[in-house]
Structure 1
Amino acid sequence: MKPLRKPPALKKGDLIGVVAPAGVVKAEDLGNGVRRLEEMGFRVALGRSLYQSARYLAGRDEERAADLAEMFANPEVKAVVAARGGYGTSRVIPLLDAKALARSPKIFVGSSDLTLLLHFLRSACHLVTFHGPMVSPNFGKYSSPTTNGEFVRILGATTPPGPIDVTGVKVLKGGSGEGILTGGCLSLVCQTIGTPYEIQTEDAILFLEDINEPPYRIDRMLTYLKQVGKFEGVRAVVFGLMPDCHPSPQELYTLEDVIRDVLADLPCPILYDFPSGHGGTNVTLPFGVRAAVEGATLSILEAPVS
């Protein structure tokens, strides 16, 4: 694979473009998120079709793809942040011109359904991408100091950011590991398999998270990734908060038990409850740069932006 390009750093006063490649956007949450970004010192430009709807999608596929292409082509826009997840990113990707996007390397931030776009931009455009907060849910509805602070710190880091200072991370299996940080929403990571933008996990620190998936589905998806070889060569696995993925109180096991069971033979550390993705806090993680796990700490060893 070609070396990845690092987009220019984001600074206070820069213009952030907001697009909705997936689900329908709620105006109130989006408005609150835009105001939060402005309070953080950024200017905001909204995609032309941001408030459109077509069934469960934020407008027609062509409209959503055009918004994304326009933001990448606009030299004043320094970062593009997804409005929300939901569903629909996979329908947009075939309409994107990878060469045109690659000519204007810039920060792209998203999570959940945008996991697919993160991997497309990495594989087809050779860009470092950013798994992190989206405007409506993470800056609008569930804004937190950690989400906001790490967004600014990571996207402005022209030197290695180092340890990510968060609390509550559990060690399911101890040890240390170093590799390229990648991953995303577990169900969407599985969806990349067999596509041109299939996730690459050799020599990886693999981050996985999801929401509203019962334990047997988490088991099924992890087992699937294991059987197609996606845990071979992984240096560490880091799980997110996994809201609404836990067994009922009547059950005599935990989601941690399921993960330990499926991944029992992995010779690498496994962390759990790292606050990125779905949940109250969504820490920005740069995909495509070197990172390390030591104890309960995830560190970014390489500058993610230029």
Structure 2
Amino acid sequence: MPHPLALPPKASPGDRIAVVSPSFAAPAVYPQVHEQGMRRLAEVTGLVPVEYPTTRELGASPQDRARDLMAAFTDPQVRAVLAVVGGDDQITVVPHLDPEVVRRDPKPFLGTSDNTNLHAWLWGAGVASFYGGSSQVHLGPGPGVDEVHAASLRAALLTGERLEITDPGESQDLGLDWGDPRALTEGGPREPTEPWTWHGPRRAVTGPTWGGCLEVLQWILTAGRFPADPGVLDGGVLLVETSEELPSAVDVGRILRSMGERGLLAAVDAVLVARPPVSSFEVRPGVEDRARLRAAQREAAVQMIARYNPDAVVCVGIPFGHTRPQWILPHGGVMTVDGEQQRVWADYS
């Protein structure tokens, strides 16, 4: 790594957790889902959610969103920071952040999707974080909090143990519309998961992670917000997942090809590719077409990684990112990808 990453100390029950909207302020539009998510956050973790001016402010400026983030990291009574959801413009918030603020008092940060921007920024500032945990998606809607999500949420925020990442056996691409009152008590349709697929050499890799939403990683690299030397990822584990915008297998392959040309794929020793969403409110393929779309994206990813790094251990199908149930994973922390035993472990220190 370019510099040692700080592992933020854990919070304790009764501590405050900042709840922020660095991208889309979903609580402004869907307050009932948000408020149920805050109650569940407190129940699952024992932490006390604290909101900021832009948490419920739709269309807040990048400067104001950055100001709330810095306020959360500056407040000594706040011991963790959680993003409510993603969006598509957090890249404009990053220039207004001060890395010295987070270095002085590192705190666990949790978020997914567009929050890949913040994870990459924290990583560059020398602070590890946790990829996953959007309250508007995984806490607020539905009949309750998924077991694997609750376990990794507590590990990331409170306990810091090492957990095996397992297949929950079922998955959904999306739930009910948050504006539908049923979204508070009912979940979206779920289907059985396919077995994870393993590729590359049969060996175990243990290393620090980096990555996130593939589309956002492309923006970060385009904006020049990654070190010039891809060797900073040497020996690491790359995390990649795709969003509800449903990029095609061709697009996934092209983005990974660009990352390969940049030297990122050759640098890492392992790659974890998430189970991708293939449905949205606008696009609802049938069962066979969903399986075909997932297979096409898997094949594109595996082929492109093998082209640039045939020695990488690759596992496809991990439930992190944009599907539910969701495992929260370390970003900058350590994971083990064991191609021999075909098991995956995450250290939540």
Q: Is the TM value for this pair above 0.5?
A: yes
Distance (Å, rounded) in 2 between the aligned partners of 1:120 and 1:38: 28
Which of the residues 139, 150, 155 maps onto 1:153? 155
Amino acid paired to 2:13: K
Per-residue CA deviation, residues 205-242 of structure 1 (Å, 9 max, x unaligned), is 11110121121111111111111111012111111121
Instruction: Give the number of the structure whose residues are more often helix, by fraction.
Output: 2
Amino acid paired to 1:45: V
What is the aligned partner in structure 2 of residue 283 from structure 1? 327
Deviates more, 1:225-234 or 1:161-170: 161-170
Distance (Å, rounded) in 1 between the aligned partners of 2:261 and 2:225: 19
Amino acid paired to 2:319: P
Q: CA deviation at 1:197?
A: 4.0
What is the aligned partner in structure 1 of residue 77 from structure 2? 76
What is the aligned partner in structure 2 of residue 297 from structure 1? 343
What is the aligned partner in structure 2 of residue 195 from structure 1? 224
Deviates more, 1:111-120 or 1:209-218: 209-218
Q: CA deviation at 1:103?
A: 1.3
Secondary structure of the residue that 2:266 maps to in structure 1?
coil
Distance (Å, rounded) in 1 between the aligned partners of 2:120 and 2:156: 19
Q: CA deviation at 1:28?
A: 2.3
Contact 2:164 2:344 (8 Å CA) reproduced: yes
Q: Which runs of 5+ in 1 are unaligned?
A: none
Distance (Å, rounded) in 1 between the aligned partners of 2:300 and 2:226: 28
Q: CA deviation at 1:162?
A: 4.4
Amino acid paired to 1:287: H
Distance (Å, rounded) in 2 between the aligned partners of 1:65 and 1:154: 23
What is the aligned partner in structure 1 of residue 299 from structure 2? 257
What is the aligned partner in structure 1 of residue 123 from structure 2? 122
Amino acid paired to 2:316: Y
Amino acid paired to 1:37: L
Q: Which runs of 5+ in 2 are unaligned?
A: 170-194
Distance (Å, rounded) in 2 between the aligned partners of 1:274 and 1:163: 12
Instruction: Give TM-score scaled by structure 2 length.
Output: 0.79
Secondary structure of the residue that 1:232 maps to in structure 2?
helix
Per-residue CA deviation, residues 29-82 of structure 1 (Å, 9 max, x unaligned), is 21121011121122110111211112xxxx111211111111111111110000
1:1-306 superposed matches below 5 A: 1-25=2-26, 26-40=30-44, 41-54=46-59, 59-124=60-125, 126-141=126-141, 143-158=145-160, 161-167=162-168, 170-174=196-200, 175=202, 176-193=204-221, 194-197=223-226, 200-211=232-243, 212-244=246-278, 249=288, 254-265=296-307, 266-295=310-339, 296-300=342-346, 302=347, 304=349
Distance (Å, rounded) in 1 between the aligned partners of 2:199 and 2:91: 34
Contact 1:33 1:141 (8 Å CA) reproduced: yes
Q: CA deviation at 1:268?
A: 1.9
Contact 1:32 1:136 (8 Å CA) reproduced: no
Q: CA deviation at 1:115?
A: 0.5
Amino acid paired to 1:134: S
Q: CA RMSD in A?
A: 2.3
Secondary structure of the residue that 1:206 maps to in structure 2?
strand
Q: CA deviation at 1:13?
A: 2.1
Distance (Å, rounded) in 2 between the aligned partners of 1:293 and 1:62: 39
**How many pairs are equivalent?**
297
Distance (Å, rounded) in 2 between the aligned partners of 1:279 and 1:204: 24
Instruction: Give TM-score scaled by structure 1 length.
Output: 0.89
Deviates more, 1:283-292 or 1:239-248: 239-248
Q: CA deviation at 1:167?
A: 4.3
Distance (Å, rounded) in 2 between the aligned partners of 1:104 and 1:287: 18
Amino acid paired to 1:288: G
Q: CA deviation at 1:166?
A: 3.5
Amino acid paired to 2:300: V
Amino acid paired to 2:213: C
Distance (Å, rounded) in 2 between the aligned partners of 1:36 and 1:214: 35
Per-residue CA deviation, residues 93-119 of structure 1 (Å, 9 max, x unaligned), is 111111122212111111100001011
